[in-house]
Amino acid sequence: MPEKLSPYRSYGQKLISLFARLLFSGEKHSLIELSQMLGCSKQTVLRLVEDIRMSYDVDIEETMKETRRYYRIKTAGRTPPTLPLTDMEINVLLSERRERRGQVKSTFDLCF
């Protein structure tokens, strides 16, 4: 079995990172770009895309340009679709955002 490209990130972390990137950017991302961003194989990105489609019933547009595949989440206008996220999923997304900004706090510090 080949060595993992990113052994310190779980499948769930990659799934949420991909979902957030596609949802909030509104741009098309190539399969190669996504695999490099996530530190995993293209096959893993394909599995992640399919898991997002099946779990959240999200319409992920797949297009081909020359020899590259591109993915983006279709949105009505510029507003991202309303998706049923649990408190835990929201906290994970926010904690990743804080970590990138250097403001690491507990992931359970939100009051809803």
Q: What is the pLDDT of residue 77?
A: 60
Q: What is the pLDDT of residue 58?
A: 84
Q: What is the pLDDT of residue 82?
A: 66
98, 12, 21: which is closest to 55 by C-alpha? Answer: 12
20 Rama class: left (phi>0) / alpha (psi -120 to 50) / beta: alpha
Low-confidence ranges of the chain (pLDDT < 70): 1-8, 76-82, 102-112
Domains and CATH numbers, the chain: 11-76 (1.10.10.10), 82-112 (no CATH)
Contact status, residue 80 vs residue 24, Cβ threshold 8 Å? yes
Residues whose CB is less than 8 angstroms from the CB of residue 59 and which lie 6 or more positions away in sequence, other chains included: 53, 73, 74
